[in-house]
Amino acid sequence: MLLTGVAMAWLFDPASFAQADQGSVCLIPISKSWADVMTAENLICPAENYRVKFDGHRAFEWPSKESVEIDDLDTSQKHKIVLYCGKKDIQKLTIEFSKFKSTRLALSLGQGQTHLWASLYSACLQAEESTRR
């Protein structure tokens, strides 16, 4: 009987079945041949030392050969991103999809700072496809 009650509740509450809109962020690769970059905190950081962390998950190396797509991000939530040089956090940002017209964004790294783009998402994915060939 309890199972029937739960099923009935779902029937009368369509929001319980509704799946949140999903967004994605494509990380544009950087070249390992970049010269060491001075960050906003005046820290010299070799390109191979950049790491990034999304929403409290483990940090991983910023891509250098292929784009990396972070998908299945709930567009109704804020997403925290931390940029590291080695183990030192050098920049924190929050992505709010509601502030963009697109739910597909690209994140690039330049001058030791991240840059968020709605217009570069397709180019980011094309770069990923071209490096896989």
- What integer pLDDT is reported at residue 95 of this predicted model? 92
- What integer pLDDT is reported at residue 108 of this predicted model? 85
Round the average pLDDT of the chain to a whole number and report it: 76
pLDDT tens, position by position, 77-124: 999 999 998 898 888 999 999 998 899 999 888 766 677 888 777 777
CATH code linked to domain 21-132: 2.60.40
Region of 120 on the Ramachandran plot (φ > 0 left; ψ -120 to 50 alpha; else beta): alpha
Mean pLDDT on 59-66 = 90
Domain-by-domain residue ranges, the chain?
Answer: 21-132
| Residue 32 pLDDT > 50 | yes
For residue 30, give the DSSP letter. Answer: -
- Any long-range contacts for 87-93 (C-beta under 8 Å, 24+ apart)? 88/43, 90/39, 90/40, 90/41, 90/43, 90/45, 91/39, 91/40
